[in-house]
Chain A
Amino acid sequence: MARPVDANERRLNLIAYLDERRTARVTLDDIVNNVPGYDNPDQPIPRDPDGDLTPDTTPWDSVRKKVRRDVKDISEKLRIDIAYNETEGSYRIGRPFFTPAERRALVAAASLIELEGFLPADRTGIGQVVGDDRAQIRVTIDDWFVPLVQAIEDRTPIRISYDGRERVVEPWFLGRWRTAWYLVAGDPDHDHQMRRFRMDRLSFADDQVSFPVVGEPGSYDIPDDVDAEEALDLDPNSWGPDPATEVEVRVAADHEYRFMQEFDAEIVERTTDHVVARLVVRHRTSFVIRILAFRGQAVVLAPPDVRALVRDHLASTAGVA
């Protein structure tokens, strides 16, 4: 006697069977004949001399409804759609949204990266059940993240309070530069020019994160000629107001990597104890301050006017005439 088949097992059997026969025409007969759980020995479906099910009988109608209920449950609970073709009288499982390789890659990414403060831990869906214990990378998602993403998706202008000043912006991109999040947005009051806002300098009334909407969704387009990576390059030497000046700096060998992290430079000379790095400076004030962080391990060699800039700053600070 056949082992009784649980309803959930039957539904999974149906998925497995339809998955195996993606290219075939699978009828109700095929399902009843091949998938355990549909053929009810207590209520056998009448068959014709060829062994095919006889339609429009009570048992036939009952099993047809059972399959339809299962198809509906599978769709609702497991997000797997099974289409019924009325003309052919056949069932076909849909094409997966992600390929198996894509899903594996997404699950691997989700297992290595913990997005702290984003989705609740008990959420379901691809990659949501991997644990944080394997995470190697944590990215903190603040309360402003989801509403801001929503504004970008909807292309809705919003009001922000930045450095104590209220302004309306058209959010374009979000991203990180070094250790901080930045918003790149258009300024509707100034011909939609690009502006960048460091997110930890935004303030919210009563500390409640919200972005009052100022306009309808779809109110603006993100300009095609704006490159997100360039927009989020916040190195002062990329956007600074001063004339571009090529500068050479002697850097102690142990500080080379740190220097190259700080500045977009190229090494033009290397000895056992130091390197000479060349870079373009476009923001002199920022450059002086950043070079002083190396505590004498990075010293400006040329040009003379930039070297003098650092020297004069230090001399004035030291009280040396």
Chain B
Amino acid sequence: MARSKGEQFAILGEILAAVDERRCVSIDDVASQYGITREEALAIVEPVLYVEFNPADGANPITWMHELEFDGEDLMPGIGAEQNGTPIRNLETRPPDHDTALDLYLSAAIMNSLQPNPVLATALEKLADLVPVTLLVPIEQPPALGVVQQAWSQRRSVHTRYLADGRTEATEREIVPWRVYANWGRWYVKGTAVDHGEERTYRVDRMLDARIGDVEYERPDDIPIPQWFDMDHNSRTVRVRMPAAAERSLTAPVVFADRVVLDDGWVEVTVTVHGDPRLDHLLVSLPPEAEVLEPAECVARRRDHAAALLADYS
């Protein structure tokens, strides 16, 4: 269906903004996003390629703020626009709509908690007038993060002493960082260890120190941030009888199931954790009067782990 001039103008505005924000936009992506053909997309952008004009009042030529370059596949900011241009979105006089403002507010609040920035702070003040809500989304920056990000950007390995989950001592590792990201409030590195090629995910806050290594590498394309970690293979489940009031004291992450409330203020509940260290911790975290019902071997496991820890208090 042919687009009206008004619709084409709105699409053009979005394309100009996209080129400014992303620096490079494929014409096919543009066509796909707006449900138009490649030819229609080209027709919309064609008038704004390589343009400047000279006002008749004798002033300097007005370099197009919107000037674009097109290499046959991708649209990019034109040289004039790069040197003198004003991105179209810089001229928006109206505040963003509510949802966009909320989105920007969240991103800016997170960013400002990571790297306080006076410019971002003033933008946040403007957004706070549009979204009168206090949202706190702090994300911790582990000490090794800067080195890991530097290694990633230089496509170099990173040497670290890594304290794996549940281990008592750190071990030396050299990691090739494919992607560095934060998810679920923690920072991770996805990559491989230099001494074996297996893909692993490492938590940056478990890196006790870090320095850039000597191994150079090509970063694979398209390393997505995972939606979740599949921990099922590592799950450990016990059924316990315990005072209901003690359930809340167990530290996350634990999953409760099949909860049965007993008459005496106690409950029977199935608890799942991931990995042997967390199982050990769960077992000794239970109130001493709690009972492990099954599996039977966890009864002894609980007793033995408590006895081992007790040695430090003798």
Chain A residues within 8 Å of B, Cβ to Cβ: 5-9, 11-13, 15-17, 19-20, 30, 33-36, 73, 76-81, 93-115, 118-119, 122-133, 135-141, 146, 149, 152-153, 172-176, 178-180, 222, 228-229, 232, 252, 254-255, 257-258, 261, 285-286, 289-290, 292-293, 295-297, 299-300, 307, 310-311, 313-320
Contacts and interface: CB of A to CB of B under 8 A. Distances in A.
Given A15-B91, A314-B313, A293 B183 contact: no
A101 B114 CA distance: 18
B310 A318 contact: yes
B111 A149 contact: no
21 contacts: A9-B47, A13-B62, A17-B62, A19-B86, A77-B13, A80-B92, A97-B126, A98-B123, A102-B119, A105-B120, A112-B111, A113-B107, A122-B33, A129-B22, A137-B181, A138-B182, A153-B132, A174-B134, A175-B134, A314-B310, A315-B306
B86 A100 contact: yes
A123 B114 CA distance: 26
A318 B168 contact: no
Contacts of B95: 97
B25 to A, nearest CB: 8
Given A11-B9, A149-B102, A229-B136, 8 more contacts: A79-B92, A79-B94, A97-B96, A100-B90, A125-B100, A146-B102, A307-B313, A317-B286
Contact of A317 (B17, B103, B205, B302): B302
Interface in B112-126: 112, 114, 117, 119-120, 122-123, 126
B22 A128 contact: no
Nearest to A102: B123
A103 B93 contact: no
Nearest to B52: A16
B92 to A, nearest CB: 5
B140 interface: yes
Q: Identify the 9 closest CB pairs spanning chains A and B, nearest first.
A: A175-B136, A316-B288, A94-B93, A125-B100, A34-B55, A317-B306, A318-B306, A311-B313, A6-B47
Interface string B5-34: 110111011100110011000000000010
A17 B310 CA distance: 79
A80 B64 CA distance: 17
A100 B84 CA distance: 13
B100 A139 contact: no
B106 interface: yes
A137 B139 contact: yes
A315 B312 CA distance: 12
B94 A81 contact: yes
A286 B287 CA distance: 11
B93 A97 contact: yes
B144 to A, nearest CB: 9
Given A12-B66, A97-B93, A115-B107, A314 B284 contact: yes
A35 B6 CA distance: 20
Contact of B288 (A174, A258, A313): A313
Interface footprint category on B? 35 or more
Contacts of A317: 284, 286, 288, 302-303, 306
Contacts of B280: 295
Interface stretch (B194-202, B211-219, B234-242, B249-257): B249-257
Given A175-B135, A261-B205, A96 B90 contact: yes
B6 A77 contact: yes
A7 B110 contact: no
A9 B51 contact: yes
Given A98-B126, A122-B33, A296 B308 contact: yes
A115 B133 contact: no
B93 to A, nearest CB: 3
A222 B143 CA distance: 36
A255 B313 contact: no
Contacts of A79: 92-94
B187 to A, nearest CB: 9
Given A94-B93, A289-B251, A228 B134 contact: yes
B100 A126 contact: yes
B180 interface: yes
Contacts of A118: 103, 106
B107 A106 contact: yes
Contact of B307 (A124, A135, A320): A320
B9 A126 contact: no
Contact of A252 (B137, B168, B284, B286): B168
Contacts of B36: none
Contacts of A228: 134, 136
Contacts of A172: 134
Contacts of B303: 317-319
A174 B132 CA distance: 12
B231 interface: no
Contact of A299 (B14, B138, B306, B312): B312
Contacts of A30: 57
A315 B306 CA distance: 7
Contact of A16 (B22, B65, B137, B252): B65
B57 A19 contact: no
A320 B181 contact: no
A173 B302 CA distance: 40
Contacts of B170: 254
Contact of B97 (A125, A136, A254, A307): A125
B207 to A, nearest CB: 9
